[in-house]
Amino acid sequence: MSKTAIVTGASRGLGLELARALAARDWALAIDARRPGPLEAARAELESATPVIAVAGDVRDSAHLTQLVDEAGRLGPISAVINNASLLGPSPQPPLGTYPLSALREVYEANVFAPLRLMQIALPRLEQGARIINVTSDAGVESYEGWGGYGSSKAALEQLTNVFAAEHPELRVYWVDPGDMRTQMQREAFPGEDISDRPPPSDSVPGFLTLLEADLPSGRYRASDLPATQEVRS
Ligand SMILES: NC(=O)c1ccc[n+]([C@@H]2O[C@H](COP(=O)([O-])OP(=O)(O)OC[C@H]3O[C@@H](n4cnc5c(N)ncnc54)[C@H](OP(=O)(O)O)[C@@H]3O)[C@@H](O)[C@H]2O)c1
């Protein structure tokens, strides 16, 4: 029987590349994004390879997350949850000295509370040994000027995932820095700058596949440090 993964934010960027790779490996998929048009385009593409359910909505909406988990459960036991959707916040990013707290609250809703809520809702439906992957960032551990809002939200996500992993030894729980990627978020982070030197998000995918297909211990990983699945197995 094929495995089922929930991938949030799968209409473009890293989420779409992860969904494409999983579809090619026969994983059934439940995906989301806020805007229905791009999400439906992704669903239509992925559907040629695998069963896929797309639920348009905002990860900050708990009812949406419940619907996403319910729909995923209709595809089969849930083997993986990938919290990929994320909010950069204002662009350009303000320094912390003037960061509007209302905007910061939105960033934390999307990057901290939403991933935890999805883990909470999915927990009773996860099969033994299921993978949880929370996508974080080097901005969660480094002190880049201007990255205090987004970066601190990713730091909170990292530690929250760290503790969740300790509380759930029956699962494999990963927090993963995907590395710089040439995506819309990267364009928002560096408005007006040429970002063509950043690698495409597909370059980060093999590391995620290793976490999904091998049996590495729970913990923090950088996608670029992970060997391909075949190398882990041989
Ligand atoms: N790009 C980088 O260089 C980089 C570096 C380090 C870490 N990351 C992390 O990598 C992950 C993927 O980033 P990316 O660069 O691929 O981003 P992206 O290109 O901006 O794509 C984000 C995806 O998430 C969806 N999304 C955004 N907010 C959402 C919400 N509130 N509810 C539901 N869906 C939402 C977007 O669709 P809608 O807009 O239609 O909702 C889109 O499908 C993120 O966790 C990011 O923090 C990225």
Domain with residue 134: its CATH number is 3.40.50.720
Cα 227 to middle of ligand 1, angstroms: 24
Ligand 1 is surrounded, with C-beta below 6 A, by 8-15, 32-35, 38, 58-60, 84-87, 110, 135, 137, 178, 180-181, 183-186, 201
Number of domains in the chain: 1
Q: What are the tokens at 10? A: 């799968």
Give me the domain span that covers residue 92: 4-233
Q: What is the pLDDT along the chain (234 residues), one digit of tens a residue?
A: 689 999 999 999 999 999 999 999 999 999 999 999 999 999 999 999 999 999 999 999 999 999 999 999 999 999 999 999 999 999 999 999 999 999 999 999 999 999 999 999 999 999 999 999 999 999 999 999 999 999 999 999 999 999 999 999 999 999 999 999 999 999 999 999 999 999 999 999 999 999 999 999 999 999 999 987 766 655
Among 6, 84, 147, the mutation site with the greatest number of ligand 1 atoms within 8 A of its Cβ is: 84
pTM higher than the cut 0.95? yes
Q: How far apart are the first and last CA of the chain?
A: 24
Strand ranges across the sheet with 28-33:
52-56, 28-33, 4-7, 78-83, 126-135, 172-177, 219-222
3-state secondary structure of 168: coil
Cα 84 to middle of ligand 1, angstroms: 6
